[in-house]
Structure 1
Amino acid sequence: MLIRPRLNDFHNLSFTQEEVDFAIPFLNEDIPLYLDPFLLWKSPSLQDNSLHTAISNSFNHLGYLIKKSQTKDALDILMRSSECTEAGMGSSANRIGMKIGEKTATSILNLFLSVPQLSNNGFTHFEEIQLYIDQISKDRVSDIACNFLKSFLIDYTIQQSESHQVPIEKVRIYDLYDYKKNLFIEEDTYLPINPETKKPILFVPKRWLRYIPWINYEDYFNGYFVKEILQGKDAPPSRVEILEYNRKNYDVVQSYIKEKERTLDDCKNDPLFKQIPILSAKRKLDSIIKLPSGKTDNSDKKYEDSICLVMASALYPHLDFAEAQSRTDSGTQIRDLIFYNNRSYDFLKDIYDDFQTRQIVMELKNVAKVERDHVNQLNRYLTESFGRFGILVTRNPLPKSIFKNTIDLWSGQRRCIIALTDEDLKMMISVYESKQRHPIEVIKKKYLEFRRSCPS
């Protein structure tokens, strides 16, 4: 069973996250990012600007319905728009979320009645609802935006699927917002399918994604309310009191919004993975070299944490990092590092073809001397799901008897276990810094050395 399987892993597609325009969906959990409508508003793209206008107009139509006493229709649209499982954005561990309840939806709609400026002009940035209503945060903002943009996202997903050979199937979409009719409809279309749940999947452009929306309550409270309103004179009120204050002081909120608009150049999308800077990598390497082997002063945990950061950054984008310290279903074994094998480099394609390596397992051992049990432990991980290639990351070269053990595993079972040492890490960081070659070439070098030592 693969760790954190993605759609491309299931379909055996070799593209990396770096190579595609969208966030590659996980099959059994959400992508830990959110669609931020502000990124569409600030975008130089006329298309993105138009889509932001569509979101705003769709949301503001709810105010029109409320003023026309069509409360039931407004509630239905708002509640249905509050969860978008097809996009799979957020923190859910199973890609299943819940819509907002009628009470919260009613509180949002009442803004169009209780705040005169919103009643007259509506929202430019509907994310402001986070500053007025409790229980509304980044996940709701993202889902509402995704639902109002679902028609575009369907077309975008089909186009991206065709470009990258992602299989699509006929599906029925039940909550598709019709911008002309201003209501949700059902429609048959063709989209990728989650093979585990048989539910449709939508792709979302990476350029729209952030960990936290540019406009959010925490930023408003810490960056504006405390400094500009309280000015250090009083103890901060509770969140509920602040939300009530905001509803009665619309101009205060708008001053914060205008400040966020003025600093729009600082609002950038967040990547799904961010490499640590070269200077940080060198510092991590220095700390690794200075660590004593063994478990003294928790040095084994410090070793693992540092190796994780260094490896994930140095090997990107050729290897997408999957997970650290991944416990098996039985809970008895822990694989230290898991990488997706995207076959984005000749060596990676070779080990995929020769050893069926769909994910690369790295076992981290902060020991002075690797023993047979360490090799056997890694060997047990090399199952059909992962393939028959693994890496031991340790401090020193393997003793001759242990190296012979790895040769025997290749001879008897065609399994390949190579070792990376402190000296190899130094070479990887040197290559990482020079940018003239790729750090993954160090692993390729160790692999070729191993194969030359194997009997023909």
Structure 2
Amino acid sequence: MTRVSEYYSLGRTQGTLDFVDVDTVNDIQVYVDPGSIRYLQDDWGKQCLKMLETFFDSVLDSVRSNDKRRTVALLSQLREPNETHLGISRGPSAGRGFGSKMGASFAEKLAQSEAAKTGLIQDLEDTAFFIDGVDKDIVSDVTTNIIRGPLITYTQQMAELFGIPLESDVVSGPVWNPVSLDWENGFTELPTPDGKKLLLVPKVIVRRSMHMSRGEYYRNHLVPVLQDEEVDAASRGLAGAIRTRGGRKATQKEIRRKYGSTKPDVTRETLKRPSVYEHYRQIKRKVAPQPLTHRELSVTADTPMPDYERLLQEVLDVPSGKADATRYHNAVECLLTAIFYPSLSMSDKEAEIHDGRKRIDISYTNTARDGFFKYLIRHRIQSRYVFVECKNYGKDVTNPELDQLSSRFSTLRGEFGILACRSFQDKAAFLRRCRDTARDGRGFVIALDDEDLKRLVSDVMVALNPAPVDESDPDPAPIRPVSDYPLLHERLKELHG
């Protein structure tokens, strides 16, 4: 097994990489979940969502208008996305999903599906509930096909960030155009380990199972409705009702025996009660799926957990001064990427703004579902993107460095950033400058020196390895989630002080 990080000698492990560090030959059993893409608020996520929606709307329009030629044309372009190395193949990536025959077969099933014709199927995820032969692996493959264009762009960005060589004139595969509503084929630049093209996939959009679960829907939504109907039918003495004693509800086993539990059974009963599935869909839409944690990725992909103490030491070992500015920049990015995942993702170094006239040392996309970075969003602090400036000075940072970071802020990009530096002679004075900047409406800057980074790492280690709870203690200290970063909360509170 050779990981991408090993093949290209990146000197990193999964915890400090934004993409899934796949084996360059075999597959890892995680899947691209379209449900997770719906909650990405950055431009890349919105582009992916637009592609998913326009493609599947086009497919459903062709099904409902009985345009079989258009349906087949749309679905027959789907291919096995072996270049991502995600899924369930045993041995070298071979694809399980769609060749032209499989695409045509899927088109035929959709064309014949009452669930598609009646509007029960509205999104790609719904097909796993109501179309035979479609499950999480197929949904993942189809999603990968549809967002191939953004994945190519993402791969190129990661290649530039880590110095991964790209081959030119690589066949892109079909790329969906959300404007023309058609597929386009061409050539692009991609990594080609061992002569085979590679597409990198962000960790935040992969799951071990889909957010929308047919089993969950059946057990927790459809079965209870069927149980209530059986109670009502029995009370009215209707023939065929499941007979129970004492007015108890029919068991799940009894419901399964009468109505069945296969995909055709679930489809049949849901078509009679479409509001049940619509209720389930609305509930799931209100709950953002959680990205895989470091630990879940470690177990699933057999990769090591981040070594936070080693990453911290690599920052501390960098001598202060201009000569080692790049080394400090890289070490801070490694550490913060590991600490802040999954709240922050899609790291980018030296990102250009204002037509290249200004650069941001590190930018992250805020993908938080809870904790501090979600707190920013809830309290209307613009933070779609979070910026980090790195100052490897042997002297104090002062107003010019603070102004440099705040000048990168905007209501569109974000108004929150972190200034990483080595130390302060008068830390309290600089924190007051940060408070003045916030009070003047120029954004929120949290300064972190080496001692602060030590505390961040300590807090993460405590969250990952909490001390045993003393049951005799009437007021035990709360166990914080990894994403809650108490130091950041304290500094933000000082800015409002």
Category of TM-score, reference length = shorter chain: 0.5 to 0.7
What's 2:192 paired with?
A: 193
Cα distance between partner residues in 1 of 2:73 and 2:460: 57
Cα distance between partner residues in 1 of 2:297 and 2:133: 33
After superposition, the Cα gap between the structure-2 partners of 1:247 and 1:46, relative to the gap in structure 1 and judged at 3 Å, is farther
- Aligned match of 2:279 in 250, 255, 259? 255
What's 1:97 paired with?
A: 95
Cα distance between partner residues in 2 of 1:271 and 1:64: 38
Contact 2:171 2:186 in 1 (8 A): yes
After superposition, the Cα gap between the structure-2 partners of 1:176 and 1:254, relative to the gap in structure 1 and judged at 3 Å, is same
Cα distance between partner residues in 2 of 1:201 and 1:51: 19
What's 1:316 paired with?
A: 305
AA of the residue aligned to 2:261: S
Note the alpha carbon deviations across 1:401-427, whole angstroms, 9 max, x for none. Answer: xxxxxxxxxxxxxxxxxxxxxxxxxxx
- Aligned match of 2:159 in 154, 161, 171? 161
After superposition, the Cα gap between the structure-2 partners of 1:169 and 1:258, relative to the gap in structure 1 and judged at 3 Å, is same
> Residue 174 of structure 1: SS of its match in structure 2?
coil
Task: Please state if 1:133 is matched with 2:131.
Answer: yes
What's 2:119 paired with?
A: 117
After superposition, the Cα gap between the structure-2 partners of 1:29 and 1:275, relative to the gap in structure 1 and judged at 3 Å, is closer
Q: Shift of residue 272 of structure 1?
A: 6.1
Note the alpha carbon deviations across 1:161-199, whole angstroms, 9 max, x for none. Answer: 11011111121123222222322222111001131xx22
Q: Shift of residue 112 of structure 1?
A: 7.4
AA of the residue aligned to 1:192: P
> Residue 28 of structure 1: SS of its match in structure 2?
coil
Contact 1:156 1:203 in 2 (8 A): yes
AA of the residue aligned to 1:201: L
AA of the residue aligned to 1:270: L
AA of the residue aligned to 2:154: Y
> Residue 142 of structure 2: SS of its match in structure 1?
helix
What's 2:269 paired with?
A: 245
- TM-score, normalized by length of structure 1? 0.56
AA of the residue aligned to 2:216: D
Contact 1:55 1:148 in 2 (8 A): yes
- TM-score, normalized by length of structure 2? 0.51
Identity %: 20
Q: Shift of residue 107 of structure 1?
A: 1.4
After superposition, the Cα gap between the structure-2 partners of 1:135 and 1:45, relative to the gap in structure 1 and judged at 3 Å, is same
Note the alpha carbon deviations across 1:8-29, whole angstroms, 9 max, x for none. Answer: 2122221221112111121121
What's 1:269 paired with?
A: 291
Cα distance between partner residues in 1 of 2:204 and 2:4: 20
Contact 1:127 1:215 in 2 (8 A): yes
AA of the residue aligned to 1:134: D
After superposition, the Cα gap between the structure-2 partners of 1:345 and 1:47, relative to the gap in structure 1 and judged at 3 Å, is closer
AA of the residue aligned to 2:33: D
- Superposition pairs of residues 39-78 of structure 1, within 5 angstroms: 39-45=36-42, 47-78=44-75
What's 2:322 paired with?
A: none
What's 2:202 paired with?
A: 205
Contact 2:81 2:145 in 1 (8 A): yes
After superposition, the Cα gap between the structure-2 partners of 1:28 and 1:230, relative to the gap in structure 1 and judged at 3 Å, is farther
Q: Shift of residue 214 of structure 1?
A: 0.6
AA of the residue aligned to 2:124: F
Contact 1:168 1:192 in 2 (8 A): yes
Note the alpha carbon deviations across 1:262-286, whole angstroms, 9 max, x for none. Answer: 3x14x2011364399xxxxxxxxxx
- Aligned match of 1:107 in 93, 103, 109? 109
AA of the residue aligned to 1:108: L
> Residue 117 of structure 1: SS of its match in structure 2?
coil
Cα distance between partner residues in 2 of 1:78 and 1:149: 14
> Residue 188 of structure 2: SS of its match in structure 1?
strand
Cα distance between partner residues in 1 of 2:131 and 2:151: 28
Gaps of 5+ in 2: 229-248, 316-456, 466-497
Q: Shift of residue 435 of structure 1?
A: 3.9
Q: Shift of residue 215 of structure 1?
A: 0.6
Contact 2:223 2:255 in 1 (8 A): no
Cα distance between partner residues in 2 of 1:271 and 1:92: 23
Gaps of 5+ in 1: 277-307, 320-341, 347-430, 440-456
Q: Shift of residue 55 of structure 1?
A: 0.3
Q: Shift of residue 74 of structure 1?
A: 1.6
AA of the residue aligned to 2:25: N
What's 1:419 paired with?
A: none
- Aligned match of 2:12 in 15, 35, 51? 15
Contact 2:63 2:117 in 1 (8 A): no
- Equivalent pairs counted in the alignment come to 287
How large is the RMSD of aligned CA atoms in angstroms?
Answer: 3.5
Cα distance between partner residues in 2 of 1:275 and 1:141: 20
Contact 2:78 2:103 in 1 (8 A): no
Contact 1:36 1:208 in 2 (8 A): yes
